[in-house]
Amino acid sequence: MRTDHSPAESSDLALLGLLQLISPALPIGAFAWSQGLESAFELGWVNNEHELGEWLQGVLDDGLTRCELPVLARLQSCWAKADSNGLTQWNDWLHANRETAELSDEDTRLGQALMRLLSDLELQPQAELGHALLPQEPGYVTVFAWVAHQRQIPVRQSLLGFAWSWLENQLAVACKALPLGHTAAQRLNEQLRPQLVTAVDNALALTDEELGPILAGLALGSAQHETQYSRLFRS
């Protein structure tokens, strides 16, 4: 059986691997988490399509662009260099920047779920093969970075896929809890899709000293969500 691949075939396989990784059908339970968005609905901070667009733009600019996206690029580089210390450093940095128990729990549990899936598929990192050592408590971004590296997905495409997956999840949450019609969700998708490209450009340009989310409102809402009487989501 043929095992080598041409550059075009390798690129195609990387793209398909990325699509699998960001698919809503990936069985890791991402649909159960709202990343603080349900709190914004309950507290009356987001009430309609326009306000949702502003909220998502803010989280993208002051959250993902300054936190998950640039750190994902660094983590993928660490996997490529088998840099175990770097992996642990950035994994711990992300944990330290989760400002509520729910947000920390979400990152940890999704990371665990993705690792279980990778183990079932025999795709987990293996130190005996020269891979970096997995941090003791790997978060979702850290494990996502491993899969992106293992699938030979270019770093920029990894970031675009991660951002797209975030946006898809947030719009799915809004369709369930706001409620937001599916046509309105697609309008927001069209509106924010170019902003994902801008976010990736900005994230890749940041130095280590410039990193760190600025999401005080989301943190406060998430903290209140922990005691919210009735809720659909775990964060």
- Give the pLDDT confidence of 161-205 residue by residue, as tens digits: 999 999 999 999 899 888 889 999 999 999 999 999 999 999 999
- Other beta carbons within 10 angstroms of residue 23's beta carbon come to 12
Burial class (CB in 10 A: 0-12, 13-18, 19+), 110: buried
Tell me the average pLDDT across 120-139: 88
Q: What residues does each domain of the chain span? A: 34-225
Distance CA(177)–CA(34), nearest Å, equals 10
Least confident of 8-12, 59-63, 229-233: 229-233
H-assigned helices in the chain: 7-22, 37-42, 49-62, 68-80, 84-96, 101-120, 140-150, 155-177, 182-205, 216-225
Q: Per-residue pLDDT for 57 more than 90?
A: yes
Exposure of 177 in the CB half-sphere (CA atoms within 13 A): 27
* 3-state SS class at 184: helix
CA 155, 34, 15: angle at the middle one, nearest 5? Answer: 25
Tell me the average pLDDT across 9-27: 85
Selected residue with higher pLDDT from 141 and 220 = 141
Looking at residue 231, its amino acid is R
| pTM of the entire predicted model | 0.92
CATH architecture of 34-225: Orthogonal Bundle (1.10)
- Other beta carbons within 10 angstroms of residue 224's beta carbon come to 14
